[in-house]
Structure 1
């Protein structure tokens, strides 16, 4: 099985990702098709102490269900100590990823690590699908291969309809403020707005720079969000809730306009 070139990954997480690949290969054997990083690692925006490690895995649908549970046990922190804020791992069957979908569709959604509420979910039927649709779009554009087959050989991009539906749901979720840091709400909004303009996923801080430059009315809020994002999660700066909500309403309008034009 092909393995990634370690220098292409952030040095703080290379040994961890290598061990994750080894453990996954040991559990899944020939059923393992591909492992790739998404999120901040894929977009070259990983910040140690702030970012999660986001990993997607594609397996043959013939992988026995007990092996999926064994995989979760093998990778759960602290059985495999996570050096980042947390690991967000999603495992899909290759039959699901072969076609575009607006569903969550996973075999396993594992959240684990020192700063994440633990979760090991094996049933995607009740999941909020927008997280997974957006991650698959980012993966198709920029997924960083860790092992196995190239990303675009095992993953199909979401349709524009499904993607804009997911973006709208994401903005609504971040507008509630529940469970999300204010800086991350703003930066995710920047990234969504820039995607609507360009059709490309940018790192959060580059997307923020683009919005701060083009939208003077939001510049101070966006710059404050970037300043906060540079700090550890536990030291995030307060941002004015009303201004955050106004900004996200503006982002929602951009998503709606882009969806109509698509």
Structure 2
């Protein structure tokens, strides 16, 4: 059920059974109110790395799904009751009215993080949430999402307005420039992805974005190549030892590129 691009990006073999069960449980809980289940993130962008990547999923439902159903859904999907084979599952539920509008903000009914390497959370209230993650995921869903069940992603998830999307990119780079809570390689690679989006107008996988940026900006090449090597290690391994001053200099440069593109 999807557009032609989806057919060219198969779900990784390591995730097929798991995602099939996720869809089955989402359908069982949401029933007739379920509109679509969409894979985003590294799965949609063709760079899922087993042992390193999360599984990112967006669920769209008709308005009015009760909070009790959302809490039940979180329980049905929680690891280890449903063992997650990836580093973790990050699943967001939006209602169709919100998802279909080109708006910013988190706008979720449920924000679920679960899995062997994620801190557990199941939020039903977006107050205080970092909106940029959700805006970026909706853009990726609209442009490249793999529909696992239901209506095609492009039909039910709108591209956020340009001003909201560039605001999200600026916030993402600021978040990674600050550093706490993020591995050094993730800080760098997310900066690369933002820069490449501003240059090309499209989403790239993190490693591809780093290689493209390194080719265009030789002064950062050693840092970006080291970040890619760190990203290619399992998440359970120690993070890459990248010089913090170089990481911050690169992200300051990336912030300037994003600001210029959004003017």
Aligned mates of 2:154, 2:23 — CA distance in 1? 19
Aligned residues of 2:106 and 2:135 also touching (Cα < 8 A) = yes
Equivalent residue number for residue 131 of structure 1: 133
Q: What CA RMSD, in Å, does the superposition of the two structures yield over aligned residues? A: 1.5
| CA-to-aligned-CA distance 1:225-251 (integer Å, 9 cap, x gap) | 001111012323211111000000000
Instruction: Give the Cα–Cα distance (whole angstroms) in 1 for the partners of residues 100 and 125 of structure 2.
Output: 19
Say if 2:252 is the partner of 1:249: yes
Q: Deviations over 1:25-80 (max 9, x none)?
A: 01111100000100000000000000000000000112222111111110011111
Matches of 1:115 and 1:15, distance apart in 2: 20
**Distance in 2 (alpha carbons) for counterparts of 1:63 and 1:56:** 15
Q: What's the TM-score once normalised by structure 1's chain length?
A: 0.96
Quote how far apart the aligned CAs of 1:200 are: 0.5
Aligned length: 259
Which residue number in structure 2 is paired with residue 51 of structure 1?
53
Deviation per residue, 1:162-215 (Å, 9 max, x gap) = 000000000010011111110011111111000000100011111111011010
Secondary structure, aligned partner of 1:55: strand
Residue segments in structure 1 that go unaligned for 5+ positions in a row = none
Secondary structure at the aligned position of 2:225 is classed as helix
Cα displacement (A) at 1:95: 1.1
Counterpart CA distance in 2 for 1:233 and 1:252 is 26
Deviation at 1:130, TM superposition (A): 0.5
* Aligned counterpart, 1:177: 179
Gaps of 5+ in 2: none
TM-score of the superposed pair, with normalisation by structure 2: 0.96
User: Out of 80, 83, 96, which is 2:82 matched to?
Assistant: 80
